[in-house]
């Protein structure tokens, strides 16, 4: 079997051809990945010219991140719907490399669940996708490709592009921590966690970059940032601030008034809201999503300017995320910010209609929308109609398919710039028909995840507005106590508190009512997902940090894409790793990689052990431990990775292996008792070795472990970049290479 491994980093691209047929063709695999790291390092050096070692190291890390991201992106875009298809092998490969360590302090998610549950797996991939798409696209862009979602840029690369007049437009988040840039070709780039660069604004102005700042949220830091922008804005001109308020932006005049609304035909089932009145400031805790949607707002406000600039016109946007995270609210806010009408319909309403009605409703809806352009069409629960065609559980649903087809026809029929943008919402993007996600249709996917601590503070502020609060009410404390709550649960909780207050004949909501309300909502949530106590938080943080650090300190291991300790789906926390291109392409995993994987899986439990002592480890790692023994067994019985046992496939009748599939387990020789014992010994040896290596690396990087856990407790999530920064600051020792005991 021959395959291509593309090596890329920064500007350098080259291709390495390798042939191999056996899974134990490890030498080749190693060679390739070394080569790719080296190439990336070279690329990093030439494009940035950092002279010091640290700089080079960071470049190397970044290139490596970019590399793995590219693969994650390429993989997801090609195989986006792999989960619901029967293409189990690809899914297996992806899962193996995008290894997810989701660990629950109380109810562990079984490994089998992780592998078979499309939701969890999709979550992992989505997060990988979300967190990783960016740099990946920097590379895809080199090929002239731009897939959905903005790419992520390094700061230095961004400045470089600005200085070369490659950047057209920049939108800052209200707090000034992130920005979205659009280059001259209309490609979008994202930068998170901006450094404090006093010259940034000057550079932007000098190069005539359009600067927009998102409306400010009630965050303190934002004020000074805004002020710091306003001042030079007067000096340099050419910058306009988007002010919150009637009609939105300064700068260029938007289409002030709305088209007079023609009443929808009476049979029309969709809702039309001429003016939603919702602003971005009403949606809190999803700055990333707002940043991306700002472009849609700009387009709706000034469609002509937008297309004159040659920017790529947005068509369809999919908002995906758990229930109650504010997807509908965001869509309404886009309409509100742009001052355009909002058409909405729910996917499930289509399905309830009589045969033939769905498609004509779609025609109606789009017809009305075009007449009222610019406007937004919002389709809630798009999965109800947008599920893969021909994959219906009850033998397919013609009505649904016709409705879906009609939506596709309408979206394809958008000529040039007709000012209609379709926003769809779903919490099951994994089951969507791929046709929906093609370019020109819903080619932008925006993740709206559960809010982290800061997000919850902001959401609470929104929902405390206009409510009489007692002097003892501390919003930050409420936010600390409500991890795992969505925006809707928080709103619900505040309403409950208000009801308790009224019942108790009080005039102000006090902490007492809020406590009761939190308890009540938590009880409701607990049935669905794991609610997390304060004490658990630190433990989960150490556990996840353990996985991440062992992964990061392992040469050639997959990149950490995101760490979170927000409880979800029964898991206390999750560490996501982005798959690596070589491995995904080939589906081959070297012995070295699998050994590292053992160590990474053990890292969580080990961190607990190191920090709290052996007596205090929790059963939250049972999922990890299952993964460990499964991987180790397979290495010995199926991949012939043991010298003792040799290169033969054995029938290790481990029932239903969700990871590598039965096909690999087939055809093995039955095992004698003595062989079984030998296998057990070998498995134990492998695991013990991995355990030792992971333990050493965690002990020697204790500072990094503490720093990571601390930040996780504070923020609940950590991006790849944030983690890399910690690694760069604290890292001491890499994991030692495998040495047989």
Provide the annotated active-site residues.
544
Answer for which of 295, 383, 430, 624 binds Zn ion (CB under 5 A) is 624
User: Around Cβ 609, how many Cβ atoms within 10 Å?
Assistant: 19
In the complex, the smallest distance separating the C-beta of residue 299 from ligand ATP, rounded to whole angstroms, is 22
Reported as half-sphere exposure (CB side, CA atoms, 13 A), residue 701 has a value of: 36
The Cα angle at residue 247 between residues 241 and 252, in degrees rounded to 5: 50
Work out how close the CB of 608 gets to Zn ion at its nearest, in angstroms, rounded to a whole number: 9
**CA-CA distance, 683 to 660, in Å (whole number)?**
17
Closer CB to ligand ATP, residue 146 or residue 427?
427
Please, are residues 28 and 20 in contact by the beta-carbon 8 Å criterion? yes
* Parallel, antiparallel or unpaired: strands 188-191 and 179-183: antiparallel
Query: In angstroms, rounded to a whole number, what is the distance separating the alpha carbons of residues 591 and 573?
Result: 28
Task: Please say which residue, 454 or 547, places its beta carbon nearer to ligand ATP.
Answer: 454
Number of residues that bind Zn ion (CB under 5 A): 4
CA 476 to chain centre: 25
**Residue 172 near residue 195 (C-beta atoms within 8 A):** no
Three-state secondary-structure class, residue 709: helix
User: Which residue is closest to ligand ATP by CB?
Assistant: 487
- Tokens coding 356: 């033939």
The dihedral over CA atoms of 467, 468, 474, 480, expressed in degrees to the nearest 10, equals -30
In whole angstroms, what is the distance from residue 429 CA to residue 438 CA? Answer: 14
6: partner contacted, choices Zn ion, ligand ATP, none (Cβ within 5-8 A by kind): none
If the CB atoms of residues 431 and 671 are measured against ligand ATP, the closer one turns out to be 431
3-class DSSP assignment, residue 369: helix
Binding of Zn ion at residue 192 (CB under 5 A)?
no
3-class SS string, 400-445: HHHHHHHHHHHHHCCCCCCCEEEEEEECCHHHECHHHHCCCCCCEE
Closest C-alpha among 521, 575, 522 to residue 548: 575
- Our finding on whether 573 is near Zn ion (CB under 5 A) is no
* In 267-426, alpha helices (H): 287-301, 303-308, 327-338, 347-352, 357-371, 383-386, 398-412
- Mapped onto helix, strand or coil, the DSSP state of residue 170 is strand
Q: Which residues contact 472 (CB under 8 A, 6 or more apart)?
A: 510, 511
Report yes or no: 271 and 343 within 8 Å, Cβ to Cβ: yes
Interface contacts to ligand ATP, rule CB under 6 A: 283-286, 323-329, 380, 425, 427, 459, 462, 487-488, 491
Asked if 548 interacts with Zn ion (CB under 5 A), we say no
Give yes or no for residue 589 binding Zn ion (CB under 5 A).
no
Give Cα separations from 660 to 34, 62, 113, 712 (angstroms). Answer: 26, 30, 14, 32
Question: Which residues from 88-107 bind Zn ion, rule CB under 5 A?
Answer: 101, 103
Nearer to Zn ion, 141 or 625 (CB): 625
Binding status of residue 570 toward Zn ion by CB under 5 A: no
Give the Cβ contact number of residue 431 at 10 Å. Answer: 17
Cβ pair 12, 43 in contact under 8 A: yes
The partner in contact with residue 329, picked from Zn ion, ligand ATP, none with C-beta cut-offs of 5 to 8 angstroms by kind, is ligand ATP
Nearer to ligand ATP, 490 or 588 (CB): 490
Q: Which does 686 bind (CB under 5 to 8 A by kind): ligand ATP, Zn ion, none?
A: none
Rounded Cα distance between 517 and 507, Å, is 16
The greatest distance separating any two alpha carbons of the chain, rounded to the nearest whole angstrom, comes to: 84
Which residue's CB is nearer to Zn ion, number 339 or number 546? 546
Report yes or no: 313 and 417 within 8 Å, Cβ to Cβ.
yes
* Rounded CA separation 362/269 (Å): 10
d(CA 667, CA 671): 12
Q: How far apart are CA 291 and CA 179, in angstroms?
A: 7
Out of ligand ATP, Zn ion, none, which partner does residue 284 contact, by CB within 5 to 8 A per kind?
ligand ATP
- Binding partner selected for residue 722 from Zn ion, ligand ATP, none, CB under the kind-specific 5 to 8 Å limit: none
639 binds, among ligand ATP, Zn ion, none (CB under 5 to 8 A by kind): none
Whether residue 330 contacts residue 321, with contact meaning beta carbons closer than 8 Å, is answered with no
Other Cβ atoms less than 10 A from the Cβ of 87: the count is: 13
Q: Which among 139-147, 251-259, 617-625, 631-639 is the span making contact with Zn ion, rule CB under 5 A?
A: 617-625
In the chain, count of helices (H) and strands (E)? 27, 17
432 within 8 A of 438, measured Cβ to Cβ: no
324 binds, among ligand ATP, Zn ion, none (CB under 5 to 8 A by kind): ligand ATP
Among 347, 386, 579, 604, binds Zn ion (CB under 5 A): 604
723 scored as a contact of Zn ion (CB under 5 A)? no
Selection from ligand ATP, Zn ion, none that 604 binds (CB < 5 to 8 A by kind) is: Zn ion
**Alpha helices by DSSP H, 553-587:** 581-586
712: contact with Zn ion by CB under 5 A? no
Crossing angle, helix 591-612 and helix 622-637, to 10 degrees?
150
Which residues are near Zn ion by CB under 5 A?
Answer: 101, 103, 604, 624
């Amino acid at each position: 079997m021959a395959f291509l491994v593309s090596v890329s980093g920064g500007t350098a691209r080259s291709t390495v051809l390798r042939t191999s047929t056996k899974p134990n063709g490890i030498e080749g695999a190693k060679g390739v990945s070394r080569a790719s790291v080296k190439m990336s390092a070279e690329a990093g050096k030439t494009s940035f010219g950092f002279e010091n070692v640290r700089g080079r190291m960071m470049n190397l890390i970044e290139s490596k991140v970019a590399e793995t991201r590219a693969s994650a992106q390429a993989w997801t875009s090609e195989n986006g719907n792999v989960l619901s298809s029967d293409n189990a092998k690809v899914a297996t490969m992806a899962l193996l490399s995008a290894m997810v360590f989701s660990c629950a302090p109380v109810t562990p998610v079984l490994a089998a669940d992780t592998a078979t549950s499309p939701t969890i797996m999709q979550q992992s991939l989505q997060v990988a996708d979300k967190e990783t798409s960016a740099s990946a696209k920097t590379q895809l862009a080199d090929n002239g490709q731009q897939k959905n979602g903005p790419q992520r840029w390094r700061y230095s690369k961004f400045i470089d592009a600005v200085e070369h007049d490659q950047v057209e437009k920049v939108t800052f988040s209200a707090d000034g921590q992130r920005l979205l840039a659009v280059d001259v070709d209309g490609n979008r780039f994202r930068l998170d966690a901006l450094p404090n660069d006093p010259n940034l604004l000057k550079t932007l102005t000098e190069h005539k970059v359009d600067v927009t700042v998102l409306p400010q949220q009630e965050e303190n830091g934002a004020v000074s940032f805004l002020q710091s922008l306003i001042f030079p804005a007067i000096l340099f001109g050419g910058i306009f601030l988007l002010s919150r308020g009637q009609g939105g932006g300064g700068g260029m005049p938007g289409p002030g008034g709305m088209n007079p609304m023609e009443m929808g035909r009476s049979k029309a089932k969709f809702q039309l809201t001429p003016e939603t009145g919702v602003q971005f400031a009403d949606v809190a805790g999803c700055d990333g999503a707002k940043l991306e949607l700002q472009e849609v707002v700009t387009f709706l406000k000034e469609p002509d300017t937008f297309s004159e600039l040659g920017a790529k016109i947005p068509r369809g946007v999919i908002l995906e995320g758990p229930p109650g995270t504010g997807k509908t609210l965001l869509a309404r806010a886009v309409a509100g910010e742009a001052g355009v009408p909002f058409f909405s319909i729910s996917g499930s309403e289509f399905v309830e209609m009589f045969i033939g009605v769905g498609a004509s409703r779609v025609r109606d809806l789009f017809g009305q929308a075009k007449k009222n352009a610019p406007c937004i069409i919002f389709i809630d629960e798009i999965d109800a109609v947008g599920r893969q065609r021909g994959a219906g559980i009850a033998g397919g649903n013609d009505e649904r398919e016709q409705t879906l087809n009609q939506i596709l026809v309408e979206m394809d029929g958008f000529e040039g710039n007709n000012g209609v943008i379709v926003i769809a919402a779903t919490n099951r993007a994994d089951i969507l028909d791929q046709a929906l996600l093609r370019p020109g249709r819903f080619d932008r996917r925006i993740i709206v995840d559960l809010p982290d601590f800061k997000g919850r503070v902001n959401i609470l502020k929104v929902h405390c507005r206009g409510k009489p609060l007692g002097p003892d009410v501390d919003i930050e404390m409420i936010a600390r106590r409500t991890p795992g709550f969505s925006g809707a649960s928080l709103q619900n909780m505040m309403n409950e508190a208000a009801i308790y207050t009224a019942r108790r004949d009080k005039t102000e909501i006090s902490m007492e009512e809020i406590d009761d309300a939190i308890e009540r909502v938590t009880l409701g949530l607990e049935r669905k997902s794991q609610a997390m106590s304060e004490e658990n938080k630190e433990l989960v943080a150490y556990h996840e940090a353990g996985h991440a650090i062992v992964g990061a300190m392992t040469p050639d291991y997959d990149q950490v894409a995101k760490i979170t300790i927000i409880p979800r789906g029964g898991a206390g926390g999750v560490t996501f790793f982005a798959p690596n291109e070589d491995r995904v392409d080939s589906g081959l995993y070297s012995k070295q990689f699998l050994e590292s994987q053992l160590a990474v899986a053990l890292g969580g439990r080990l961190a607990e052990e190191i920090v709290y002592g052996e007596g205090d480890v929790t059963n939250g790692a049972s999922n990890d431990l299952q993964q460990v023994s499964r991987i180790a067994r397979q290495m010995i019985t199926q991949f012939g990775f043991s010298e003792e046992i040799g290169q033969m496939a054995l029938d290790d009748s481990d029932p239903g292996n969700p990871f590598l599939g039965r096909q690999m387990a087939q055809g093995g020789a039955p095992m004698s008792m003595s062989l079984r014992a030998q296998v057990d010994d070998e498995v134990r040896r492998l695991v013990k070795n991995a355990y030792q290596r992971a333990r050493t690396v965690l002990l020697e990087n204790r500072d990094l472990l503490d720093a990571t856990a601390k930040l996780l407790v504070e923020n609940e999530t950590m991006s790849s970049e944030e983690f890399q920064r910690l690694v760069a600051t604290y890292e001491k020792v890499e994991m030692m290479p495998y040495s047989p005991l």
